[in-house]
Amino acid sequence: MEFKAVRVTEHVYWVGAVDWSVRDFHGYSTERGTTYNAYLILADKITLIDTVKAQFKNEMLARIASVVEPTSVAYIISNHAEMDHSGALPAVIQELQPEKVFASVMGAKALNEHYHLRSPIVPLKDGDGLNLGKLNLKFIETRMLHWPDSMMTYLTEERLLFSQDGFGMHLASGKRFADEIDEGVLRLQAAKYYANILLPYSSLILKLLERVAELSIPLDIICPDHGPVWRRDVGNIIDWYRAWAQQSPQPKALIVYDTMWQSTDLMARSIADGLSAEGIEVRMMRLRANDRSDVMTEVLDAGAVIVGSPTLNNGIFPTVADFLTYMKGLKPKNKLGAAFGSYGWSGEAAGLIADELKAMGIELVMEPLKVKYVPDREVLIKCRDAGVRVAQILKQRTNDGKAG
Ligand code: FEO
């Protein structure tokens, strides 16, 4: 195999793999593919930070071999045990026979529970250091960002943070650095990653950012485990993270729905018209036309989430139920909400949606809006008025900063 490492700094090389073809990452649509980033530190103790998904092991070893003899790797550090970063680890340990393999205390446990390794993993505590000769590493435990084992590794002399999933995105590219990629693409893919992976841990992210500021850790480069390396203006991605973690409601409404015979669709369109007329940015996303992970990206900065479903067999339409389950797990905060939908005879869906939204802590701003069979002009005026009402409350909240 002929693959080359990419130089990041004087001592650090990218030795990961680009997965151009993956389109589903445990239920998250990866329309742009992804990368599994591993990094090689050329120090007296040559050190590999994370590995790659199992099937890309040989690509990673070939990239390492373009810089050093792979068996000269002395240390391997696993920042995160999830299999997209540790899948190749057991075979790599077997082939390279490193002196030591390190992980957080929880990481050592998790790796053993995944791979039942014969050789021990050296556990590291928060704040521990590791001398590699002329270079020094420091470990920052980031438990539940986003797994119990997660940690980050800071390379002091190069002011460089290996941030595992943090500050990453699913984006396959021939470019290795964020400053070589369009900022709109970066922001969209980073937001999608945040909304679908990190959102439930937003309060921990704010604490981490505070801690980094308090410790005055100088940060010039961020090397995540997915997507490009941030080597310029790292403040930009940190500012994006701070804003997403704060979850301040924006004057934007998302209408998420599905429809059987277009009645719920007509209601959605009328609600959207009322919202737009009040100057609110609107997104309408029918669930059979949009992947749930793309809908979550829009939830991230929406101040209002309005959910609609026809009643099917006394319940919520399956795509809408799927989305509600998914959104509930991601624990969005500071949202206004409303429920609507058409029905034929029993009409439970809108009420069930309202119950689900309430259980998520979403503040309902109106009674569920329901229509039997097909909405007439009067009903559509009611729907439009409902859109106007939601918009007015949302504008008041975003102006006052009182939402939530
Ligand atoms: Fe990229 Fe949590 O694994």
The DSSP string of 248-273 is --EEEEEEEE--SSSHHHHHHHHHHH
165 is catalytic: yes
The answer, yes or no, to whether any atom of ligand 1 lies below 6 A from the CB of 84, is: yes
Q: Is the pLDDT of residue 269 over 60?
A: yes
The confidence score (pLDDT) of residue 404 equals: 42
The confidence score (pLDDT) of residue 403 equals: 43
Out of 192-196, 243-247, 374-378, 397-401, pick the least confident.
Answer: 397-401
**Ligand 1 centre distance from Cα of residue 343 (Å):** 41
26 is catalytic: yes
CA of residue 309 relative to chain centroid, distance:
27
Query: How many CB atoms lie under 10 A from the CB of residue 377?
Result: 7
H-only helix segments in 279-361: 292-299, 318-330, 349-359
The answer, yes or no, to whether any atom of ligand 1 lies below 6 A from the CB of 45, is: no
**Which of 45, 47, 36, 109 is CA-nearest to residue 77?**
47
Local structure of residue 67 (DSSP, 8 states):
T
**Ligand 1 centre distance from Cα of residue 83 (Å):** 7
Give per-residue pLDDT as tens, 97-116. Answer: 999 999 999 999 999 999 99
CA 168 to ligand 1: nearest atom = 1
H-only helix segments in 194-313: 202-214, 234-246, 263-277, 292-299
> What SS3 state is found at 327?
helix
114 is catalytic: no
Give per-residue pLDDT as tens, 1-39. Answer: 789 999 999 999 999 999 999 999 999 999 999 999 999
The answer, yes or no, to whether any atom of ligand 1 lies below 6 A from the CB of 50, is: no
> What SS3 state is found at 354?
helix
Residue 252 tokens read as: 């934007």
CA 36 to ligand 1: nearest atom = 1
pLDDT above 70 coverage of the chain, percent: 99
**Which of 291, 156, 299, 158 is CA-nearest to residue 229?**
158
Q: Is 131 left (phi over 0), alpha (psi -120 to 50) or beta?
A: beta
The answer, yes or no, to whether any atom of ligand 1 lies below 6 A from the CB of 258, is: no
Q: Is the pLDDT of residue 214 over 90?
A: no
Q: Please, what's the b/e burial string for 40-49 (b: 16 or more CB within 10 A of its CB; e: otherwise)?
A: bbbbebbbbb
The CA distances from residue 33 to 53, 173, 222, 248, 357, in Å, are: 13, 8, 21, 30, 32
> What SS3 state is found at 201?
helix
The rounded distance, in Å, linking the Cα atoms of 176 and 181 is 9
Whose tokens are 């990206």? That residue is: 297
Local structure of residue 367 (DSSP, 8 states):
P
H-only helix segments in 49-182: 57-65, 83-86, 89-96, 105-115
The answer, yes or no, to whether any atom of ligand 1 lies below 6 A from the CB of 141, is: no
The CA distances from residue 336 to 239, 251, 339, 354, in Å, are: 24, 11, 11, 11
Ligand 1 atom 2: the closest Cα is on which residue?
Answer: 82
Give the chain's mean pLDDT: 96
Residue 187 tokens read as: 């922001």
Residue 394 tokens read as: 């949302």
Q: Is the pLDDT of residue 251 over 60?
A: yes
Of residues 50, 82, 149, 258, which has the active-site annotation?
A: 82
The confidence score (pLDDT) of residue 401 equals: 55
pLDDT above 90 coverage of the chain, percent: 95
**Ligand 1 centre distance from Cα of residue 165 (Å):** 5
Tell me what the mean pLDDT of segment 124-139 comes to. 97
In degrees and rounded to multiples of 5, residue 45 shows phi and psi of -100, 100
The confidence score (pLDDT) of residue 212 equals: 83
82 is catalytic: yes
80 is catalytic: yes
Ligand 1 atom 1: the closest Cα is on which residue?
Answer: 165
Task: Say if residue 11 is preceded by a cis peptide, omega within 30 of 0.
Answer: no
The CA distances from residue 190 to 167, 237, 397, in Å, are: 7, 8, 27
Interstrand relation of 129-131 and 136-141 (parallel, antiparallel or unpaired): antiparallel
